[in-house]
Structure 1
Amino acid sequence: ATNTKKETRFQWFFQKRETPDGQYDPETGVGTLCIEELSKEDKGIYRATVSDDRGEDDTILDLTGEALDAIFTELGRIGALSATPLKIQGTEEGIRIFSKVKYFDIEYMKTTWFHKEKRLESGDRIRAGTTLDEIWLHILDPKDSDKGKYTLEIAAGKDTRELSADLSGQAFDDALAEHQRLKALAIIEKNRAKVVRGLPDVATIMEDKTLCLTCVISGDPTPEISWLKNDQPVTFLDRYRMEVRGSEVTITIERVSSEDSGRYGVFVKNKYGSETGQVTISVFKHGEEAKVLEKRVQAEVPPVV
């Protein structure tokens, strides 16, 4: 805008509605409206106006039809040019080959993957996809037959770009080793002994009552189970009982007394790992405030490092 003065007002409009996102610099006379991550929702008529006591002037941009297509095509070209060299990465499921991009639009950018010059299609072991900033190929359960040259072809308008990576030799061996390592860790995490849910942080109960605590465990093979009281093994005799039904473990303490107060833990273990779920049991006497005793019991429980 030129021939402005201090009182001149600059406004941006989109579809006849004023938008507060625009900026205006009175020093340079430049008005700017930035649209981040342009999408079809931004299609429409844009209008910039300047006005003061002398009158009003405006300029209009029709961002529809061919004008919008031209912008998206150019963004696609820029996105294709921004693609980084292909990288190879071992994953829990297999081997990933990918390129990072600054922009990707599935309508204006087309991608094709090739293995040894043969076009690849998504199937049981091959998955291809994109995000706003990445183009990727995932090879599941990799085999020796997956070795070789991989090429990514990115088409944007009339422009085409190709990127290649050689998945053989040390590159294949390293990716396969990382895949096997991550897969083994996933198996351990999936199958290791865990206390899944059930135990509260604190269980408060009046003396002479029966306390039942149930938790759910998981693990394959089935975990060994033991209970601890203040870090010492619990002996299941007389008033103490433990019952295991499938994945549910229940400890029952009959006719609880103040001596039963303390920090309890259920310890589960199998060949893949172990875990402890903890609960503090607070037993209060008839007529005694439960909250007061709860604080006292917690204070008496020795700290654990």
Structure 2
Amino acid sequence: MSKSAPPPGFTLNINDPQIQEAAIRIQASYRGHRSRKELREKGPPRILQDLKDVVLLEGSAAKLVCRVSAFPDPFIVWSKNGQQLKDGPKYRYVFEDPDVVALVVRDGLLDDLGRYTVTIKNPFGQTSGSACILVEAPAKVSKGPGNVAAKKGATVVLKAEISGEPPPDVAWLKDGDDIEEDDRVFYDIEDTNTILTIKSARASDAGKYEVFVENSLGTDQSFARVSLL
């Protein structure tokens, strides 16, 4: 049985000069790729472009990028403050190009602040590089003070849990006015909370108290009432 003729436009003349020129280019490209691969020097991995610190906005994602050279192909491990990170929904290992590796940190939280390290290993050795993720989050009163009913002469304590990066400025107000601190009425500010203390409570201390926090990304406040019996 004779072969059917190819459809019109599908004939290929291998003697056509353009076809021969294309074949030569393909062969040269293949030889060049093969020779480049064969000429790659086997040895321990090297970092060609260091990791750089990045800023992670709360609720968003950030990416740490590192450019490396390694042959044979390396094994990559990412860690945070010495603890290995698993590839998954929160931390995503990314390989963008033959020589670029990255870590994507999703759903940014204040807890994501820290130093991240990439370790690159192959049979000839290993190397590593580090950078920091700096987290920015709006000022927030995560847990406000509760209402207090106390006897006259007692010590009254109002406590609020706060957060924010940069660390927020904190103010306490009574009935809408800033509290002027003295030896009897004062407040302390720590990393995650602020405490207002009222010693030897008087009838005039009764009222509505407000804790107010502010940083460059936002403000928040919470209220509590103090009653004197």
Please classify the TM superposition score into its range, dividing by the shorter chain length: 0.3 to 0.5
TM-score by length of 1: 0.36
Please identify which structure carries the higher helix content: 1
TM-score by length of 2: 0.46
Flag the structure with more relative contact order, 1 or 2, with Cα contacts below 8 A and sequence separation at least 6.
2
Please identify which structure carries the higher strand content: 2
